[in-house]
């Protein structure tokens, strides 16, 4: 497994991280096998969120006894069952405490504000609540997860240790300005949606709304690699994301233990050759439309 510096935090994170959004509702035995095999192979990043249903609880039950072997990243901001409103300081405080209980840990390595807008960041009270939690030892580092103008604003604030944002062959809007800024601030960068939901595999508009925008873009981008067998094409897409300067780790979610091993094989293949990487970048520059912004 390849490991990378996570900004200025001192953490060395696996290039491939586990995304906890897809395990919600999955039986505990499957999650235990999935995460256990990932940790055995050297993955050391597990990313989840308070609003991912029972994801935090499943992770805690499956691998909390191996807590020293991984970094746990979570997110807060949405009430998700708490009586207080979204983006209220009380919600931040109580959500963090709830996450610790669910994850069966005394602290999380990174707590991220989950896709709030610029106005919330400007007001500042939720950031202050994160800082209080850090002072209390409940979280080690502060992060922001989001896209578009809010992602840039969060970077420029200079208070966050990391940025999680969409980076893939169908979502490159952050590459020219936001990522260089994040690098200049010494931030760790988490790439979400690193394989663009494999949206190119659908011949017609996907039934899942979450995939439609990428499907539309990829249809116009017409990358030659998308004509390869799906497994090979996924490898190209993932390696593109991990070859992007500034990316610390790419978060991939799956319910299939075998899929994790396959993704690890793609990472082992190393960076995408420069000419292939630049061809994808050039196709984006030539084709991308003004409204092709980061997908939250």
Higher pLDDT, 45 or 1: 45
pLDDT at position 141 is 98
What is the pTM assigned to this prediction? 0.97
pLDDT at position 1 is 85
The answer to which of 34-43, 134-143, 259-268 has the lowest mean pLDDT is 259-268
68 contact partners, CB below 8 Å, separation of at least 6? none
Confidence of residue 211 (pLDDT cuts 50, 70, 90): very high
pLDDT at position 210 is 87
pLDDT at position 231 is 92
pLDDT at position 263 is 86
Confidence of residue 260 (pLDDT cuts 50, 70, 90): confident
Rounded Cα gap, residues 262 and 231, in angstroms: 9
Rounded Cα gap, residues 147 and 149, in angstroms: 7
Among residues 96, 83, 199, 195, the alpha carbon closest in space to that of 143 is found at 96
Look at residue 258 and tell me whether its pLDDT is greater than 80. no
Rounded Cα gap, residues 242 and 266, in angstroms: 10
Backbone angles phi, psi at 83, to 5 degrees: -75, -15
Rounded Cα gap, residues 249 and 47, in angstroms: 11
Instruction: To the nearest 10°, report the CA torsion of 200, 203, 206, 207.
Output: -150
Rounded to an integer, the average pLDDT of 88-114 is 98
- Count of C-beta atoms within a 10 Å radius of residue 50: 26
Look at residue 48 and tell me whether its pLDDT is greater than 90. yes
pLDDT at position 264 is 86
Look at residue 172 and tell me whether its pLDDT is greater than 90. yes
CB 188 within 8 A of CB 7: yes
pLDDT at position 167 is 98
pLDDT at position 6 is 98
pLDDT at position 255 is 82
pLDDT at position 126 is 97
What is the widest separation between alpha-carbon atoms in the chain? 53
Phi-psi region of 162 (alpha: psi -120 to 50; beta: other; left: phi over 0): beta
pLDDT at position 253 is 87
Rounded Cα gap, residues 152 and 154, in angstroms: 5
- pLDDT tens track for 68-92: 999 999 999 999 999 999 999 999 9
- pLDDT tens track for 212-241: 999 999 999 999 999 999 999 999 999 999
Rounded Cα gap, residues 224 and 89, in angstroms: 48
Mean pLDDT over all residues of the chain? Answer: 95
CB 238 within 8 A of CB 15: no
Rounded Cα gap, residues 67 and 242, in angstroms: 26
CB 287 within 8 A of CB 170: no
Instruction: To the nearest 10°, report the CA torsion of 243, 249, 255, 256.
Output: 50
- pLDDT tens track for 111-140: 999 999 999 999 999 999 999 999 999 999
């Amino acid at each position: 497994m390849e490991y990378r510096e996570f900004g200025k935090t001192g953490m060395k994170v696996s290039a491939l991280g586990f995304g906890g959004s897809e395990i919600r509702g999955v039986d505990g035995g499957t999650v235990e096998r999935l995460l256990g095999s990932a940790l055995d192979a050297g993955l050391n990043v597990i990313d989840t969120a308070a609003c991912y249903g029972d994801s935090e609880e499943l992770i805690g039950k499956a691998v909390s006894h191996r807590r020293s072997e991984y970094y746990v990243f979570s997110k807060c901001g949405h009430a998700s069952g708490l009586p207080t409103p979204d983006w209220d300081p009380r919600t931040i405080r109580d959500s963090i405490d709830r996450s610790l209980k669910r994850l069966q840990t005394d602290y999380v390595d990174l707590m991220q504000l989950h896709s709030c807008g610029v106005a919330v960041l400007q007001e500042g009270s939720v950031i202050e609540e994160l800082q209080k939690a850090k002072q209390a030892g409940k979280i080690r580092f502060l992060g922001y997860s989001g896209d578009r103008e809010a992602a840039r604003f969060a970077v420029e604030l200079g208070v966050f240790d990391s940025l999680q944002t969409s980076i893939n062959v169908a979502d490159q809007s952050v590459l020219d300005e936001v990522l260089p800024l994040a690098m200049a601030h010494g931030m760790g960068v988490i790439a979400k949606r690193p394989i663009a939901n494999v949206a190119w595999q659908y011949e017609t508009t996907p039934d899942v709304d979450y995939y439609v925008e990428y499907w539309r873009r990829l249809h116009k981008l017409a990358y030659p690699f998308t004509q390869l067998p799906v497994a090979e094409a996924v490898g190209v897409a993932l390696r593109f994301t991990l070859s992007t300067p500034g990316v610390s780790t790419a978060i991939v979610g799956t319910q299939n233990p075998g899929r994790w091993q396959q993704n690890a094989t793609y990472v082992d293949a190393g960076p995408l050759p420069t000419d292939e990487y630049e061809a994808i970048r050039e196709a984006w520059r030539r084709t991308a439309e003004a409204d092709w912004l980061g997908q939250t």
